[in-house]
Amino acid sequence: MSSPASSATFYRRPLPESSVALSSREGRAAFREALDRGTMESYFALSEQFHTQSEPAFCGLGSLVVVLNALAIDPGRSWKGPWRWFDETLLDCCVSLDDVRRRGVTMRELACLAECNGADAQLTFAGNARPDDLRKTIAEASRAVAGPMLIAAYDRSGLEQAGAGHFSPIAGWHEERGWALVLDVARFKYPPHWVEIDRLFSAMTSTDPSDGTTRGWIQIRPGRTASPVVLSMRAPAAGWHDALAALRANALTLGPIQSARTWIAAVADTRVLNDAVVVAGESRVEIAKEHQARIDAVRAEARATALFSFARERISAVPTTLGPEDLVLLALVLSRDRTEPVGPALREEADAIIRQLDALCPDGCTPPTR
């Protein structure tokens, strides 16, 4: 016989008095007032794409799916049949879906996921900000039709709600009342609701125990550069700091650490990034024709570099799971070498992966030169 704890189920939670349901009389009145003042512009694109997170720990992924689709960013991969559309299963770079199911994501990981799927992400940690900073950011997003859009990371307990860390998009602002409209992606738990911005900021100042940073918010815009299509990166099993330290130590024995050739040799020799590098075509998701054309262009430009023959030689000497084209691209990313002549598609791909890595670990992904 099941214990009471194991058989308990839930159907939604009542909103605390400090939150105002959008569908309530007061919530609808606030919506009309904010709409008249022009601070609900982002609501319509977000509400068109609003959905419920598909797993208990997918609040970050669910929020990002809503925002990416609201910004009309093309994932370049099939969702169902011929249709290209973001859902959580397509957010498979930076961190594995199994890890997200188990523990959720951090703000940095969510920013990395945005970067590797065609968006620009700007992180703000509440510990480095003030309530007025959040108010200004919400004001900007609420008046924008095509971005930036805003995802809030906060502790539910700070809003007198059940639960702990959570992500949800912010869809509007009522200036006079000092309210922000939270489109809660856990719709099985709470409906869309208004909260005081000062209270929301306070809920962001708690520490995320998984990485020791405070919570905060992420501004997301359509990307300045294309999303990476050949390689995407996850955190290696050893962790980024340990993995890069091992690579760096090996690179120092092989030549100038800023050289792409040095990093080709280091990656081939140590193979510490094999579990972190995701190569196009490894997933079972069909790639759109125009994105496949870009993949082909990047690979062709990699084969045309002077680095390619060196990478092929290293792979023949030390077998690795990466192809020589992948090794050339990865070395350009890790070294950030700008002295090698490369084609525009290859350079754009390298820059896109660099932005992804910078979002994931801005304090540890750039190896120092000597």
In tens, the pLDDT along 2-30 reads: 334 445 788 889 999 999 999 999 999 99
pLDDT greater than 70 at residue 67: yes
Amino acid 366: pLDDT: 53
Which CATH number does 8-222 carry? 3.90.70.30
> What confidence category does residue 76 fall into, taking pLDDT thresholds of 50, 70 and 90?
confident
Active site residue 155: no
- The 3 state secondary structure assigned to 77-144 is ECCECCECCCCHHHCCCECCHHHHHHHCCCHHHHHHHHHCCCEEEEEEEHHHCCHHHHHHHHHHHHCC
- The mean per-residue pLDDT over the stretch 204-221 comes to 94
Selected catalytic residue, list 92, 155, 184, 337: 184
| Domain map (residue ranges) of the chain | 8-222, 231-360
Top-confidence residue, 262 or 203? 203
Question: Which of 9-13, 114-118, 318-322 bottoms out in mean pLDDT, i.e. has the lowest?
Answer: 318-322
Top-confidence residue, 280 or 51? 51
Active site residue 193: no
In tens, the pLDDT along 45-64 reads: 999 999 999 999 999 999 99
- According to the per-residue pLDDT averaged within each range, which of 72-81, 200-209, 259-268 is highest? 200-209
pLDDT greater than 80 at residue 190: yes
**Alpha-carbon torsion angle 283, 210, 185, 225, nearest 10:** -50
**What does the alpha-carbon distance between residue 182 and residue 158 come to, in Å, rounded to a whole number?**
14
Selected catalytic residue, list 92, 93, 112, 166: 166
**What does the alpha-carbon distance between residue 122 and residue 75 come to, in Å, rounded to a whole number?**
20
Cβ contacts of 106 within 8 Å, gap of 6 or more: 208, 210, 211, 213
Cross-strand partners of 77: 287
Active site residue 361: no
Model-level pTM?
0.84
> What confidence category does residue 216 fall into, taking pLDDT thresholds of 50, 70 and 90?
very high
Amino acid 1: pLDDT: 32
DSSP string, 170-201: EEEEETTTTEEEE--S-TTT--SEEEEHHHHH
